[in-house]
Every structure is written in C-alpha cells, then in structure tokens.
Chain A
Amino acid sequence: DAGVIQSPRHEVTEMGQEVTLRCKPISGHNSLFWYRQTMMRGLELLIYFNNNVPIDDSGMPEDRFSAKMPNASFSTLKIQPSEPRDSAVYFCASSSGGSNNEQFFGPGTRLTVL
C-alpha cells in the first residue's frame, strides 16, 4: 500500500494566488481529514469527511478555504485568495473508522505564501 499521497510536496506562491492541495487516501478508508500545522498554533483540524461527505468544517479558518471530496479516492483543499498567514504544512490523513480510528497521515504539503 502506498499510504496517503499528497501533492504537491512543496508550494511557493504569491499572495492573492489560488492554491490547490491534493490528497489520495488509503484505499478502503472511508474517513479523510485535512490538518494545518504551524509553530504558533500547532496541529489544527480543518475539515473531515466520512464517505465523501463533509462532517465537520468548523476548523476551516475563513471562506477563502474550501475542501471537496468528489469520490472516495480524491480530495482537494483550495485557498483562494492565498495570504502570507496561510503559510504552513498541510496534512491529509485517512482512517477506516470503527472503534480503532487510527489515522494514517500523508507526508504533508509545505505551503509558503509570499
């Protein structure tokens, strides 16, 4: 199993540009999570999906952030327009749910907004 796949691994963009982060969860997992990690705020849950349906998006900081999961094998996190304070490492994780809801994390996307 390839694990959770994220792309790109690094993204450098200028303020105001649109940024799209991509995630492919582990096959068979029915829950997908987007996190943001910074030194100041630590690891924050942005949104999570169960069976492709958004369940909790209370962590999405602003309307500039949006996430979709069109099918069980793909999800995107979009920031439009991006701002320097969005600079962070964004992680995608997936889990199979159930009583052992261990999450498997991708390698992350390091986003720098200039």
Chain B
Amino acid sequence: SQQGEEDPQALSIQEGENATMNCSYKTSINNLQWYRQNSGRGLVHLILIRSNEREKHSGRLRVTLDTSKKSSSLLITASRAADTASYFCAGAGGGNKLTFGTGTQLKVEL
C-alpha cells in the first residue's frame, strides 16, 4: 500500500510558471526523497531532504519538510515544457526501503 499521498494528482501550468506539489506521509522517516518519471521511463532521483532539515534547494527545485505535519512540498520554479512528467515523493524509514506516494502528473504547456 502507498504510504504517501501527493496532491494534486494532476497539475497543468504554463511554461514559466511555478509548480508546487505536496506530499503527506504516515510513518516516521529518516529522509524524504522526490523522484521524477518521464512517460515510459524509470524513476530518476531529484532531491533528498533529511528529517532534521526543513528546506533544501537544488537548481530550480525547492523542497520543504514539516515532520510535525508529516508533509513535504516540491516547488519547481520557472517551469519548462521538459519538466512535464510524474513526480513522486518517497519516505525512507528504517533500512534502505522507500515507500512511494501516488504521484503528481505535471504538464507544462508552451
């Protein structure tokens, strides 16, 4: 079963706009990761935020983590058509196991 739930399930924006996706999870985590999946491809790791971190940046990506609310958000700034993909959060508990959310389908239109 999926631990995480992404919100919204689908998002359509214009190129240049910012895209925000949210993720909620149920159990304690050591870190939370975000992945991207292009249609027909495997998932690709984007960014990792540890449980003792509140915010992290990587290029056009900004991730926040609120462990008290068991939630995370991924912000993509100045979106491009190439950002069109599905985005998944994944919580890492004990060991190396990740539990993936249900994903947000992002469409960036020209």
Contacts and interface: CB of A to CB of B under 8 A. Distances in A.
B102 interface: yes
What's the interface size class on B, roughly? 20 to 34
What's the interface size class on A, roughly? 20 to 34
A108 interface: yes
A4 B33 CA distance: 19
Contacts, number: 56
B88 interface: yes
B102 A107 contact: no
A76 to B, nearest CB: 18
A48 interface: yes
Contacts of B90: 103
Contact of A105 (B2, B44, B102): B44
Contacts of A93: 42-43
Contact of A42 (B33, B41, B95, B102): B102
